[in-house]
Amino acid sequence: MAKRRWFLAIVFTTILFHVFLITNKWSGVHSNQASVRMRAYSPKATSVLGAADLAYSPAADGTNSIDAITKGYLKHIKGKFDYMKSPFIDPKLNINTSEAFNLHNILWWNPPRWMNDWIEETDERRCSYTNCKVTTDISTLNGSSAVVFSVADSGMGSRPPLTSNERNPNQAWIFYTLESPYNILWQQDHKRPEWLNVFNWSWTYKPDSDIFHPYGILQTRDMPLQRNYSEIFRKKTKLAAWAVSNCDTVSKRDKYVEMVNNFSSDGNASIVDIFGTCKGALYKPSEDQFEKILDENYKFYLGFENSFCPGYITEKFFMYYKRDVITIVRGMGEYEKYFPKGSFLNTKDFPSPGELAKFIVNLAADEERYIEYLKMKDRFSVEERRFMYQDAVCSICHKLNNIEEYRKTIVDLNEFLGTCVQPKDV
């Protein structure tokens, strides 16, 4: 029995010995493979990746051992990392990365037909913020950042398309018009009580609008034009011209012109030659023909508005400001407040149409004084309403990107537009 136990002990010991040998053999293989890898990738080793400062040479003190090298090169996974000091992590960029993911749709709900070309040609890339897009697709109503309603056109509807509870509180509603209140009397939708307290911004020709869209602006030239003004003055042999096809307007401009023409220095020649389709018109030239006629023959142009409404200054002023004529204005706009004196004439500065007629005749004969008006005008270049539409879109985009700064509600758009008046000088 004792011999048997002795035999089993020897067998068991032999088995343990072989297991020990086998284990050490495989761990040696693993260790050698790790050594090869370290020699290949460690900067302290000579490898196929390039000669390093120190060749791999295990030392007895362990300074170049695998463990020492590994610990030295794994320091980057330990300790705290300061994200703020890395130029590769959250750097301060020169582009607005947030706006690329925050696109703003500007929806035209019922745009004027004549505006289709403007809408199609809108270039949102010209804006200071480039994350806006203009559309006429009403299916985007709920997802749009701004909705524009044209009060001068049909299609607004008798009530808003969304109730106050259905609207996104960050969605801006804008009313638009370039027409005077008098010229949209026949439109009734915007006058309904359902449209009170629903608009946030105004988009009109009035200077106090949230989105100001004048019929034109003046831009100061870097250098005034240098021209032969005496030649311009001397070639013009006629006094004033007026192009009109909207006859018998509430501003009574037809009556005013008739009264001017009743005055004549020789009793025969008219002060104002009329072109277009209204009473007394000579004929109706094309726009290009008329501009040439003005530049070549006439010293004055009558830029009379069809209605007397607050802030209503139309293309009649800007179109002819850039021509070789002195424009005579008549309307309710604050011309003297907004434009340089000595570059136009205003009928309100004359007691009667007859007094204006006398002034025209005298100024037309005074070369030096007349040229001063042309020189004053030539200090400026003119941008007209199509250009200003692009600027208005950019203004909306700016406000949408800074919505908290521009939050407001307009109680009554009709009150904002103001009331037109009857002229008192005829």
Domain ranges of the chain: 2-77, 102-214+406-417, 225-378
Fold of 102-214+406-417: Rossmann fold (3.40.50)
Q: What is the DSSP string of 55-90?
A: -----TTSTTSHHHHHHHHTGGGSS---GGG-TTSS
Task: Say whether pLDDT at 90 is over 80.
Answer: no
43-56 tens-digit pLDDT: 333 333 333 333 33
The pLDDT of residue 36:
36
Amino acid at 281: A
Q: Which residues of 56-72 are buried (b: 16+ CB within 10 A; e: fewer)?
A: beeeeeeebebeebeee
Task: Say whether pLDDT at 81 is over 50.
Answer: yes
Question: Tell me: domain 225-378, CATH 1.20.140.10, correct?
Answer: no
User: How many CB atoms are closer than 10 A to CB 253?
Assistant: 25
The pLDDT of residue 20:
52
CB of 210 closer than 8 Å to CB of 396:
no
Task: Say whether pLDDT at 80 is over 90.
Answer: no
Q: What is the pTM of this model?
A: 0.76
CB of 107 closer than 8 Å to CB of 146:
yes
Same fold for the domain at 102-214+406-417 and the one at 225-378?
A: yes
